[in-house]
Structure 1
Amino acid sequence: MAHGACRGRHRLTVSVLGRRACLVQARRPLRGRDVRRVSDGCVRRQPILERIHGRTVADPYRWLENGGTAECARWLTEQERLLVEHTPLSQVRTRAAFRALLDESADGAGVAVSAPVVRGQRTFFVRQRIGQEMPVLVVAVEGAGPGVGNVLLDPLELDPSGATSLLAWRPSWTGRLLAFQTAVGGAESPKLRVLDVARGRVVDDPLFLNRPTAVAWLPDDSGFYYVTGSPAEPRRVRLHRIGDDPESDPVVWETHMRHLSVSLGPEGRWLLVSAAPGAQTGNVLRMADLRATAARGGDYASPELVIVHDGTSQGSSALVKSGPRGLLYAVTDAQAPRGRVCVIDPADPRSSAWTTVVEPGPDAVLSACTALHDPRSRQVRLLVGTVSNGVPRLTLHEMSGRPLTDIPTPGSGPGTINGLSTPPGDSDRMWFRYTDFTTPPTVYRLALPEGRCLPEARPTTGTTTARPGPRSRRQEPVVRHLTYPSEDGTPIGLYVISPPGARGPRPALLTAYGGFGASAAPAYSPTIAAWVKAGGIYAVAGVRGGGEQGTTWHAAGRGPNKPHAFADFACAARHLIDQDLTTAPQLAVKGASHSGLMVAVAITRNPELYAAAVCSDAVTDMVRYPQLGLGAWWANEFGTPDEPDQLDTLLGYSPYHNVRSGVRYPAVLLTSPRTDPRVDAAHMRKFTAALQHATDSGKPVLLRTEDGAGHGPRTATRHADLHSDVLAFCAQHTGLVL
């Protein structure tokens, strides 16, 4: 299709529904009647109409799926121009103010440090100082002090352009070697290499992978298990010996299931292989006793894997872990939607023989578990983490399950404890990270002789050059946890973060995740802090489809029940308005990935509720999603268009297919990498085109694309640039004045 600029300085030509249309630019509003106006000199494109299970499904922007064509490149160029010309000067000033607030909020968080991983005499952790573009991996020797160590891997030293990301890392059990995975330009096909930690040198040929992989080191550092494969081929567990040609790595086990992981305890005895057909679908867990295999004349390349758990029919998952004194235990949601901890008899490791020792209370969800050795009693103890209404709790249990004591945790209200890290062997120590909406992530240490959690000292933060943003406040924001009814009466949790002393309705930002069993947990975010410092309200809804109340909560918003999540989100918006916290002309919604789908459905379902929306990296075409990116892996979450009844559900909410001409849509900013290997950027392109053609509100629909980024992490500058744009756009269209 020919694709060029319309005559006159106010228009550009794009393809819409097989016709030509002009998008009005300059400084006047973008109107539906303008984008639908037919101009002379453009080539017509026949719209695609498909019959699927007796239904006619239109796909007018199929041509935008191929980002490598010349016409798509021209369309993206015009979108860049449209973005610039529809960003008023006031929004540019607001963006600068938000950038200052984001820098201030990030600087206030101090140095970001992960919980340490102890291997042998070395401790490994990730650190990002103020002003650093990317996190670095640090190694310290025992006794060096918390947060102190030498930089082992710096992505910017590997690639000064900032295009290379450190995706994953795993030290060997002795701490002598480190397997690390890097990818370039937002890709998710990493290169895996092995580093000699003491010398800082790569000691093995690189492994080129289609997906990031788990790495399970052998106890003698001679090699590791890892996973290969892609959506188009079987997934395989392989064994790599240091120095061997990766092409000759033996296949230990393979499956057509899309999710595959492998682990091996520090003693080198129990090999575990977990396979699942999709995310949060239940897993099949296989286990091999490598000592028994060796006694029978086998080796690491020929383990005798047997099934110990199969939860694929019920959608239940299990994870088996090793502990002190040869302990084997499992964390599972089989017959326990809120989770349970079980002890395993090595003589009979089948799940039917597991002994349940700990289950959370009726209002709590199991969040974590680790095993420690108590030097006073010389007994093994279970440290169990639970969450109730967003409030975390740590409890120490005997191996029988009897509770011994509650461990006082940081914070006094909703918060998040994660990243539990316990050294191998008979350790009495454990580290974790704590955060909440007003507290930056902080590493804490628990040692059983002390019986309390102590914050690790932060490394020196250095000098900050950021200047305070406008209207900066030293007072803490006010955090409330509310409950509101959804359309069917189901109570839904809602966090509301407000400026201190806020009264009456004010500009608000609402978000939710609502998918794949992932919880919208309380956590510090410079984006939230900046919006609230500027005087706005930030709200996070715990809608169905997440994991806030266990697996039943996920199931209530998954597959055919996915519309419940969207109804919950709309009711969150209405509740904010009904409670006089905001008004529809002051309310914006934003989200990325699955949260972006929530936003896309929200504005096509109830456009009148919102003044603005930011939709990032989202699935929006629910008919074609299995053919784009990694969409084929998500059928258990969304359902499949191959089944007539599931197609009806998907079409019922598919944002791309529910855009209607002549509707007064809110102002919409869509953001996407130019290439996204996980959620194909075609979703954002097609949804942008559909909205631009249909809207009749006079408000802009704009696309922001980014080269050299993917679905994952960005440099600090790129992250701040993106969120400055997002917050400024929301402020511009909700009336928030800095």
Structure 2
Amino acid sequence: MRTVVTTGIRSALAGVSLGAGIAAGAAGLSYPETPRKPVIDLYHGVEVTDPYRWLEATDTPAVEAWVAQQNALTRSQLDPLPSRAAIVGELKTLFGSAPVTRRQLHYAGGRLFAMKSQPPANQPKLVVLTDPMDMATEKTIVDPNVLNPKGTTAIDWYVPSLDGRLVAVSLSENGSEDGTLHLFEVATGRQLEDVVPRVQYPTGGGSAAWTPDGKGLYYTRYPQGQERPPADANFYQQVWYHQIGTPIAQDKYVIGQEFPRVAETFLSTTEDGRYLLADVAYGDGGDHAFYLRGPGQTAWTRLADFADGVRSVVLGRDGRWYAIVLKGSPRGRVVAGSLDAPSLAKAKLLVPESEMTVSAVTPATSRLYLEYLAGGPQELHAFTLDGRPLGRIGAEAVATAMAGPTLEGDELLFASQSYVSPLAWYRYRPTSQQPDPAPVKTPLSEAPRDVDLGDVEVRREFATSKDGTKVPVNIVFKKGLKLDGKSPLLLTGYGGFSIPMQPRFSLRTAFWLRHGGVFVVANLRGGGEFGEEWHVQGNLTRKQNVFDDFIASAQYLIDKGYTSPARLAIEGGSNGGLLMGAVLTQRPEMFRAVVGHVGVYDMLRVELSPNGAFNVSEFGSVKDPAQFKALHAYSPYHRVVEGTAYPSVFLLTGMHDGRVEPHNTLKMAARLQAASTSGRPVLLRVAGDAGHGQGMALSSMIEQDADVFAFLFDQLGMK
């Protein structure tokens, strides 16, 4: 299951003298003893040595002891820093008084459901409102902070019944995303006895959809008991049906036996529940198949196969399905067809391909709302149901506008945010009397307190990559910045899985800016910013383009005087952690400090892990000679060279990460610690109560952020 770890800056600190810090004593750091136990693998005639294979056995006493020693070393270096205690205090104040936000909105039974974040609570809770404009109508349904005061129980996702009477909720522990489905009454918050295990896992995610009468639901299900060998426990996702009030053992198989081993299935229905849609992704590379079942039917119609280039399908109120098609139109065209006689071949073209990329379609009663990516920023546009354009909704520049749920008629809730404007929800209510009204801001999200970005400027400039490709760089800084190369700058990127890096408001960014930092997001190939061609130019054997784009972005920022190598830090997570590992091994002299979260570093063995198998369609496989050659050429773990002066490095992971095996980070840290001659630290932080980042308790996030920014302030000489 693909993911992105957003690395917008959450905090920084001013007015504190950091003293000598880690850097002065780095040459004398005594790293834990890490024996080399070489294992040699043969790939297509090429011998590859892995000196730290033993660190992959993370549940053995030897590795557990080594991790404890690494954590102790990191604590001994970070805790004494004069900055850290002050950063912790500031973060607790910042996030403890952070604004209330509501996200993941659903509309059902005339009520609005939402996930509500209300710091200092560790986890968001599930609430329901009878009026989205009146917060007094809000009521809590499920609060994980009450279920588990430790703050380590999280809601993975939820689905309300069509009448809004019940809600299905996937709950998991310690950031594992290993979810169990629970059912709750909306009116009382009472939990039903029905509990369905293994509906969610990081590999393929999870989903559920209700029947029209609310007496049963369809759900995704991973193998149970002895159905599959242990190696396949988190594969072969299928769809099953549960009747409320009956034993789980009586649940019935629905579809999925013919799906691939790496299927990722998402379920949805029409608003009346008569039609059920199964969106089946083939791993994480972007290929989808769609299956539709109508009222009274047991057979499914395959609406589109993996080779048809259909990226998404949504079910409308008007008896039609709507789809975004990429085949022959890499930036997407919108087509529609009948639910009663579904046929992609007979679909009608509604909205042709344009210069912008269609990222989502939301049908209402007489309108279509389309989200358009414009290279990173995202716009929201309205169309008639036959594809006639009605204009853009909202007009903030370099922002992200996202459609939420439709309410009655053509009424829409949508969100907008930017690097300098916090997330805000708006109500858009077109009528025959007022077809193009101004959106009205709702109270669903609050503005942050004590954060003023009125003196912040955002520039969107373009670096030139190695092959001449123009790469957008979004530069956020306080007005009056001197382009003298002396500013501390934090650069981030992702570049994979067709995921765009979009403008987002972040308290981390706000405080980094407040204290003299510059924040930059690079829109790299491999993402979805400019459509499918942009994506495929950075996947499989073309992955090096992503790293070239990032290096070019860094060089541009140096050449233009925004920063210098001595003041340049980079940060990324997951696939962005791979990016950090690749560029630090390819251009170690370019960066002063590197922070990698839950990264993929051993590209030759990633496909052997459960979620790594889902990533093969994006990264490639060592089984293919050409793909092996590309993987081996950039694999960070294998590109570490003994006797190289590497920058300061801080690698972080969680022991419950089901998306990227933690041993990637352990092995990379070991190799860098043994190889680097710069005298700069290579620190490792392994969290025992976290996974890939999803579901992490707020208190744990604060401690992690404090470590990251104490490290960065020390390494960049920020005072």
TM-score (norm 2): 0.89
* Equivalent residues of 1:114, 1:125 under 8 A apart: yes
Give the superposition deviation at 1:266: 2.1
Which amino acid is 1:393 matched to? E
* Equivalent residues of 1:285, 1:318 under 8 A apart: no
* Equivalent residues of 2:170, 2:180 under 8 A apart: yes
Paired position in structure 2 for 1:226: 219
Paired position in structure 2 for 1:656: 637
1:639–1:264 Cα change, 3 Å: same
- 5 Å-filtered alignment, 1:170-569, equals 170-209=159-198, 211=201, 212-229=205-222, 231-232=232-233, 233-254=235-256, 255-258=259-262, 259-291=264-296, 293=297, 303-310=298-305, 312-313=306-307, 316-362=309-355, 364-373=356-365, 380-407=366-393, 409=394, 411=396, 413-423=397-407, 427-449=409-431, 450=434, 451-458=437-444, 475-503=454-482, 504-505=484-485, 506-569=487-550
1:483–1:243 Cα change, 3 Å: same
* Equivalent residues of 2:642, 2:674 under 8 A apart: yes
Moved more, 559-568 or 76-85: 76-85
Q: Distance in 1 between matches of 2:220 and 2:446?
A: 39
Q: Distance in 2 between matches of 1:714 and 1:604?
A: 30
1:229–1:433 Cα change, 3 Å: same
Q: Distance in 1 between matches of 2:104 and 2:442?
A: 10
1:666–1:694 Cα change, 3 Å: same
* Equivalent residues of 2:424, 2:446 under 8 A apart: no
* Equivalent residues of 1:431, 1:444 under 8 A apart: yes
1:633–1:498 Cα change, 3 Å: same
Moved more, 690-699 or 643-652: 643-652
1:710–1:357 Cα change, 3 Å: same
Give the superposition deviation at 1:45: 5.6
Moved more, 62-71 or 622-631: 622-631
Paired position in structure 1 for 2:228: none
Give the superposition deviation at 1:221: 0.1
Q: Is 1:717 aligned to residue 699 of structure 2?
A: yes
Match of residue 111, structure 2, among 96, 107, 122: 122
Q: Distance in 2 between matches of 1:281 and 1:325?
A: 28
Which amino acid is 1:401 matched to? G
* Equivalent residues of 2:169, 2:181 under 8 A apart: yes
* Equivalent residues of 1:365, 1:388 under 8 A apart: yes
Which secondary structure does the structure 2 equivalent of 1:595 belong to? Answer: helix
* Equivalent residues of 2:270, 2:317 under 8 A apart: no
Give the superposition deviation at 1:246: 1.6
Give the superposition deviation at 1:461: 8.8
* Equivalent residues of 2:101, 2:445 under 8 A apart: no
Q: Distance in 2 between matches of 1:529 and 1:488?
A: 34
Match of residue 669, structure 1, among 650, 653, 658: 650
Which secondary structure does the structure 1 equivalent of 2:691 belong to? Answer: coil
* Equivalent residues of 2:577, 2:599 under 8 A apart: yes
Which amino acid is 1:265 matched to? T
Paired position in structure 1 for 2:564: 583
Give the superposition deviation at 1:447: 0.7
Which secondary structure does the structure 2 equivalent of 1:690 belong to? Answer: helix
Q: Distance in 1 between matches of 2:27 and 2:610?
A: 32
Which amino acid is 1:496 matched to? I
1:667–1:201 Cα change, 3 Å: same
Paired position in structure 1 for 2:42: 51
1:174–1:88 Cα change, 3 Å: closer
Q: Distance in 2 between matches of 1:401 and 1:44?
A: 64
TM-score (norm 1): 0.87
Q: Distance in 1 between matches of 2:633 and 2:585?
A: 11
Q: Distance in 2 between matches of 1:460 and 1:525?
A: 14
Which secondary structure does the structure 1 equivalent of 2:364 belong to? Answer: strand
Which amino acid is 2:331 matched to? R
Which amino acid is 2:121 matched to? Q
Q: Distance in 1 between matches of 2:624 and 2:303?
A: 32
Give the superposition deviation at 1:277: 2.0
Per-residue deviation, residues 555-584 of structure 1 (Å, max 9, x unmatched): 010001111001101111111100011000
Greater RCO (Cα-Cα under 8 Å, separation 6 or more): 2
Q: Which protein shows a greater Rg? A: 1
Q: Distance in 2 between matches of 1:335 and 1:32?
A: 59
Which secondary structure does the structure 2 equivalent of 1:325 belong to? Answer: coil
* Equivalent residues of 1:105, 1:530 under 8 A apart: no
Q: Distance in 2 between matches of 1:637 and 1:417?
A: 27
Paired position in structure 2 for 1:17: none
Match of residue 153, structure 1, among 142, 146, 161: 142
Match of residue 576, structure 2, among 590, 595, 607: 595
Aligned length: 676
Q: CA RMSD in A?
A: 2.5
Q: Distance in 1 between matches of 2:389 and 2:95?
A: 39
State percent identity of aligned pairs: 30
Q: Distance in 2 between matches of 1:460 and 1:473?
A: 14
1:88–1:45 Cα change, 3 Å: closer
Which secondary structure does the structure 2 equivalent of 1:543 belong to? Answer: coil
